[in-house]
Amino acid sequence: MFKQIYNYVPLVIGALLALSSCKDDDDDKIKTYSSLVEVTNSPLQFDKYNMNLLFSTDGGQTFVDYPLIKPGQKYQVKVHNSGSDWFSAGEDLTTEDHYKFDWSGSDPKPVGTGDGGVAEFVAGKNNSVLLNVTDACPFNAADWAGSYDATEDYGSTSSGPYDLTLTADPSVPNRFILDNFYDSGYEPYMDFDATTGTVKFPNQNTGGEDITASSGVYKNCTGEIIIKLHYDGSDWFYRLKKK
């Protein structure tokens, strides 16, 4: 019988799948199977509790949570985001979405990859599937200067889009000044962290109100920024898309 146990740890989202047989020396049975998705250094890091690996034993026609496999059998694996307020919510993730997939930490290693980064494996008696997801494009601070469409999401309601420009702060690396925050001409600043792949508004006052509790992510390839923050009496998401 197959049983899947979810084990969540900070900055890493994983699913532990234990497969066992009545006889440990039975060569046609899987003894152990573990799977893990690491999104620490990707735009998906705030979605870590929504990431799942799905498995196919029919050549990628259908995918399930609980694979019924035997040693020597080929099977495919893909990653799915079950949904949240951050990037790529409620959909399968692929390399075509500007993510880079690294399956090399798996044991046994994959024997190949298909469309969108779906990996193919040959099952052993003991298996460990590890996927590391990162942004496919490197961080370049100069790329973030320019014009944006800005949208504010307050639960089920939104405001915008409206025009906004980011200008690099000449004295602080990776800091950018906004010229039309809140669609009111306010000029707070945001800081990018290229090491962690995060972006935020440090606590500050603009337009007579404090910006606090800020945390966010960005996509280098597509010029998208999402920051969750508290401002003007409420919590909301600030979404920027470069023009």
Tokens at 53, concatenated: 């690996």
Computed on alpha carbons and rounded to an integer, the radius of gyration of the chain in Å comes to 21
Mean pLDDT of the chain: 89
Q: What is the pLDDT of residues 102-138, one digit of tens each?
A: 999 999 999 999 999 999 999 999 999 999 999 999 9
Q: What percent of the chain has pLDDT over 90?
A: 80
**Of 12-21, 45-54, 105-114, 203-212, which range is least confident?**
12-21
CA 25 to chain centre: 39
pLDDT at residue 67, rounded to an integer: 85
Residue 231: CB atoms within 10 Å: 22
C-alpha 7: how far from chain center = 17
The predicted model gives 80-102 an average pLDDT of: 90
**Which stretches does DSSP call E strand in the chain?**
2-9, 12-19, 32-38, 51-56, 74-81, 91-93, 99-102, 112-113, 119-122, 126-135, 146-154, 157-168, 175-178, 189-193, 198-200, 204-206, 209-219, 224-231, 234-242
Task: Please report the pLDDT score of residue 26 as a whole number.
Answer: 64
25-41 average pLDDT score: 86
pLDDT at site 11: 32
Is residue 62 within 8 A of residue 68, CB to CB? The reply is: no
Query: CA–CA separation, 127 vs 175, rounded Å?
Result: 44
Confidence of residue 87 (pLDDT cuts 50, 70, 90): confident
pLDDT at position 122, please?
97
- Whether residue 53 contacts residue 78, with contact meaning beta carbons closer than 8 Å, is answered with yes
pLDDT of residue 29: 87
Answer whether residue 89 shows pLDDT above 90: no
